[in-house]
């Protein structure tokens, strides 16, 4: 099995749309024309879900004529949110074909089919011309990418001079390696974590200026505690993307992640940078 197959096999298990429709119906939502709010627990497939997407959007200046790139766009929740928030065009690219199909389908259902495009492809060789985009973001994707230098250089190629890049990802902390599975990998073979400092240096040497760098372990742990309280009171956890995508493997993946964060073995980070001319 190639590296790419390990990644796509981990995420694309088939029948995702059917499972999502069943989950929406169980929530009492209209699965034929779901609102962004109804989709939000499922379609932001990264730590803290919509809460994190929306915090990132708050740090950006985006105009309606801008064209953004979503690298590793998943089933499209962040792209739909950016369009909803800023009125801009967004193009997503993702290695998992099933995610691209579901992303297109859901975007059509919420009436955003014309503004959003989802390409099936590899972030290391994107089918876009140089200097195509005004800004780019990548949420919880780089952990599947071994060659971070090639990843950053390819992003730089397709960004206009001065365009911004946001990366939100899980970095390596201290102490022993995390336990698997985690939401992004079934085993260490598909997981490639850099330390926060390696990430900063890698971006700088690929031609980005780091403008803002923060770790969000406190936010992650608080979100986890709030979710557990809701579940203890009989409610559904507010973020259900991992459960939707990994089904029976979700519980272990989430437990390993939250233990990894609380023990400092992994650290969620968010970086805002700008492409140098
Ligand atoms: C944890 S999901 C995050 C999805 C989305 N960014 C979100 O936050 O909802 C990671 C995504 O990265 C994609 N991915 C991993 N390696 C990739 C690569 N080399 N090129 C493009 N996409 C990739 C996976 O297919 C998966 O959809």
| CATH number of the domain that residue 147 is part of | 3.40.50.150
Ligand 1 shell residues, CB under 6 Å: 7, 11, 44-46, 72-74, 77-78, 93-96, 99, 122-124, 139-141, 144-145, 183-184
Domain span including residue 108: 3-275
Confidence band for 2, pLDDT divided at 50, 70 and 90: low
Average pLDDT over residues 100-113: 97
Residue 38, C-beta contacts closer than 8 angstroms, at least 6 positions apart: 24, 27, 29, 30
Say how far apart CA 259 and CA 92 lie, in whole Å: 31
Q: Six-digit token pair at 201?
A: 């240096």
Helices (H) and strands (E) in the chain, counts: 11, 7
Average pLDDT over residues 122-150: 98
Whether 3 has a pLDDT exceeding 80, the answer reads: no
3-class DSSP assignment, residue 274: strand
More confident residue, 179 or 10: 179
- Give the total number of structural domains in the chain: 1
Q: Which ligand 1 atom lies nearest to the CA of residue 46?
A: 8
Confidence band for 1, pLDDT divided at 50, 70 and 90: low
Residue 248, C-beta contacts closer than 8 angstroms, at least 6 positions apart: none
DSSP structural state of residue 261: H
Q: Give distance in angstroms: CA of 232 to centre of ligand 1.
A: 31
Residues for the chain: how many in total?
277
Identify the bridge partners of residue 119 per DSSP, sorted by sequence position: 93
Are 123 and 145 in contact, with CB atoms under 8 Å apart?
yes
Q: What residue owns the CA closest to ligand 1's atom 17?
A: 95
Are 140 and 65 in contact, with CB atoms under 8 Å apart?
no
Which pLDDT score, from 0 to 100, does residue 192 have? 98
Say how far apart CA 80 and CA 90 lie, in whole Å: 8
CA 70, 76, 78 angle in degrees (round to 5)?
65
Q: Give distance in angstroms: CA of 1 to centre of ligand 1.
A: 18
How many C-beta atoms surround the C-beta of residue 45 within 10 A?
A: 25
Give the position of tokens 């991992």.
242
Which pLDDT score, from 0 to 100, does residue 9 have? 86
- Which of 69, 72, 150 is the pocket-test mutation for ligand 1 (most atoms within 8 Å of CB)? 72
Are 71 and 136 in contact, with CB atoms under 8 Å apart?
yes
Q: Six-digit token pair at 177?
A: 């390696």
């Amino acid at each position: 099995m190639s590296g790419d197959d390990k990644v796509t096999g981990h995420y694309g298990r088939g029948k995702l749309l059917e499972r999502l429709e069943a989950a929406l119906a169980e929530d009492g939502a209209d699965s034929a024309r779901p609102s962004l709010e109804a989709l939000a627990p499922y379609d932001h497939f990264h730590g803290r879900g919509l809460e994190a997407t929306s915090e990132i959007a708050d740090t950006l200046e985006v105009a309606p004529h801008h064209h953004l790139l979503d690298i590793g766009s998943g089933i499209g929740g962040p792209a739909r949110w950016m369009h909803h928030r800023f009125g801009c065009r967004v193009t997503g690219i993702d290695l998992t074909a099933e995610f691209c199909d579901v992303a297109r389908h859901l975007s059509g259902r919420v009436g955003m089919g014309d503004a959003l495009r989802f390409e099936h492809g590899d972030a290391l060789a994107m089918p876009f011309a140089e200097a195509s985009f005004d800004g780019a973001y990548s949420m919880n994707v780089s952990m599947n990418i071994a060659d971070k230098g090639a990843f950053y250089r390819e992003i730089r190629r397709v960004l206009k001079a001065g365009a911004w890049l946001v990366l939100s990802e899980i970095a390596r902390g201290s102490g022993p390696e995390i336990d698997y599975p985690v939401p992004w990998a079934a085993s260490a073979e598909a997981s490639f974590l850099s330390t926060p400092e390696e990430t900063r240096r890698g971006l700088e040497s690929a031609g980005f200026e780091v403008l803002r760098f923060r770790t969000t372990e406190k936010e992650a742990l608080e979100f986890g505690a709030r979710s557990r309280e809701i579940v203890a009171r009989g409610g559904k956890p507010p973020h259900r993307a991992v459960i939707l995508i990994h089904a029976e493997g979700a519980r272990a993946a989430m437990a390993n992640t939250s233990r990894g964060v609380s023990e400092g073995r992994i650290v969620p980070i968010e970086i805002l940078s700008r492409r140098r001319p």
